């Protein structure tokens, strides 16, 4: 299908995936000289209501992806589950590239490449098939191990912390994916750093944030980090080394473990990430605006804090629909409702608190968690 006539100076940006990240990209794009196009899996996807041009298709079907990107100048993603071969095109700007997306799509590739680059990662092995000798050698002396599906997992899905013998878990995962078998680390805390890179190589970095995780899913984010300045500096330096390895245009989110022996790279996301949602209200330029700026070749915005303290809390489906109205009545709280249908364990939205003192923030956080517990 030929591209439609476009006003001078405006870039057609295609977004693959219609989830909450695409939704928040659309919200951030209103003041930018670009027009957004969406490839959604379903007409009911959250982002559909904010896009004027929507194509319904399957991101894992190369023909659907190829037809979609033929209509735009640049393309980016809301998630990593995309047919990569269809993105290897010289006819359109792809950001992040298929090569960068592989780091997020394939945990085995990610671990191997980070290890080869000398980045600190947990001890690991990759199993493409069951190998008793290799498994025995790795698990000997380890009371706990981590079994990861190399492909297809996110938000804790596809990751198992196994206390005792992991062999049955390995066999089960191997039926659908290669396995990354890792050492289990005792953590002091967890951090995340988001790096944004433009096509020209110019980078901006958001400050490190403290993340609270539960069952592999982010529960809350606090910025600025409450960890020592020296550790925050080390986290930023490590994140930039990771960015050099991945070479992603746009947002690259790096999740880090803080252990007794130092920082260790956990995972990366080559797109806007849950750990950066605070930036919508808490930074001069949100991660979503900066991601689109990078994709479209615009200058990047400031990542400076817009408030002295920000707290983001995820709203996850429990036994009933979250109390949206009650949350909105809390002082200083910004409510983001993704418009998803309710389902236990599903991310339905988030709330952000900004500009308050630590004591006031703690009081508001307690109120939020109390509402969510009922």
Residue 310 lies inside a defined structural domain of this protein: yes
Nearest CA-CA partner of 127 in 99, 98, 105, 107: 107
The mean predicted confidence, pLDDT, of the chain is: 94
Which is more confidently placed, 117 or 4? 117
Per-residue confidence (pLDDT) for residue 347, from 0 to 100: 93
Residue 116 lies inside a defined structural domain of this protein: no
Determine the structural domain holding residue 298 and report its residue range.
189-373
Residue 3 lies inside a defined structural domain of this protein: no
Distance CA 197, CA 204 (A): 7
- Beta-carbon contacts of 97 under 8 Å, excluding residues fewer than 6 positions away, are 87, 247, 248, 249
Q: Same structural domain for residues 39 and 143?
A: no
The length of the chain in residues reads 374
In the chain, % of residues over pLDDT 70? 97
Residue 202 lies inside a defined structural domain of this protein: yes
Nearest CA-CA partner of 32 in 304, 306, 303, 288: 288
Question: For residue range 302-326, what is the model confidence (pLDDT) as tens digits?
Answer: 999 999 999 999 999 888 889 999 9
Q: Same structural domain for residues 155 and 68?
A: no
Chosen domain end from 79, 94, 109: 94
Chosen domain end from 147, 166, 183: 183
* Domain count of the fold of the chain: 3
Q: Is 228 exposed, middle or buried (0-12, 13-18, 19+ CB in 10 A)?
A: exposed
Does residue 8 register a pLDDT over 60?
A: no
Q: Same structural domain for residues 130 and 220?
A: no
DSSP 340-352: PPP-TT-EEEEEE
Question: For residue range 212-242, what is the model confidence (pLDDT) as tens digits?
Answer: 998 878 999 999 999 999 999 999 999 999 9
In the chain, % of residues over pLDDT 90? 87
Q: Same structural domain for residues 295 and 346?
A: yes
Token code pair at residue 220:
């809350």
Does residue 44 register a pLDDT over 70?
A: yes
Question: For residue range 162-214, what is the model confidence (pLDDT) as tens digits?
Answer: 999 999 999 999 999 999 999 999 999 999 999 999 999 999 999 999 999 98
Q: Same structural domain for residues 259 and 166?
A: no
Residue 66 lies inside a defined structural domain of this protein: yes
pTM here is: 0.94
Looking at residue 316, which CATH number applies to its domain?
Answer: 3.30.470.20
Q: Same structural domain for residues 217 and 81?
A: no
Question: For residue range 331-367, what is the model confidence (pLDDT) as tens digits?
Answer: 889 999 999 988 888 899 999 999 878 888 888 999 9
Residue 99 lies inside a defined structural domain of this protein: no
Q: Same structural domain for residues 157 and 300?
A: no
Least confident of 35-39, 273-277, 328-332: 328-332
């Amino acid at each position: 299908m030929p591209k439609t006539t476009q006003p001078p100076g405006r870039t057609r940006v295609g977004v693959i995936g219609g989830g909450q990240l695409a939704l928040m990209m659309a919200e951030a794009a209103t003041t930018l000289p670009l027009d957004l196009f969406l490839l959604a899996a379903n007409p009911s996807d959250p982002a559909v209501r904010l896009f004027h041009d929507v194509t319904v298709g399957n991101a894992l079907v190369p023909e659907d992806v190829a037809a979609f990107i033929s209509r735009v100048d640049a393309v980016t993603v809301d998630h990593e589950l995309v047919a990569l071969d269809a993105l290897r095109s010289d006819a359109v700007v792809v950001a992040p590239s298929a090569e960068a997306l592989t780091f997020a799509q394939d945990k085995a590739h990610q671990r191997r490449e980070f290890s080869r680059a000398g980045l600190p990662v947990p001890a690991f092995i990759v199993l493409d098939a069951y190998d008793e000798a290799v498994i025995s050698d790795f698990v000997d002396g380890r009371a706990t191990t981590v079994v990861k599906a190399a492909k297809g997992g996110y938000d804790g899905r596809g990751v198992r912390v196994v206390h005792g013998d992991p062999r049955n878990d390995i066999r089960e995962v191997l039926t659908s994916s290669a396995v990354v078998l890792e050492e289990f680390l005792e953590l002091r805390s967890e951090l995340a750093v988001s790096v944004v890179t433009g096509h020209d190589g110019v980078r901006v970095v958001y400050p490190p944030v403290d993340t609270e995780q539960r069952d592999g899913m982010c529960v809350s984010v606090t910025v600025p980090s409450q960890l020592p300045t020296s550790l925050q500096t080390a986290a930023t330096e490590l994140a930039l080394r990771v960015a050099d390895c991945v070479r992603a245009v746009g947002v690259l989110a790096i999740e880090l473990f803080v252990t007794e022996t130092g920082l260790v790279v956990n995972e990366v996301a080559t797109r806007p990430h849950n750990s950066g949602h605070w930036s919508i209200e808490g930074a001069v330029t949100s991660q979503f605006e900066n991601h689109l700026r990078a994709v479209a070749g615009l200058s990047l915005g400031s990542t400076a804090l817009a408030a002295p303290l920000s707290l983001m809390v995820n709203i996850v489906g429990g036994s009933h629909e979250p109390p949206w109205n009650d949350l909105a009545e809390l002082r200083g709280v910004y409510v983001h409702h993704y418009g998803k249908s309710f389902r236990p364990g599903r991310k339905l939205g988030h709330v952000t608190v900004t500009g308050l003192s630590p004591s006031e923030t703690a009081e508001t956080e307690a109120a939020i968690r109390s509402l969510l517990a009922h």
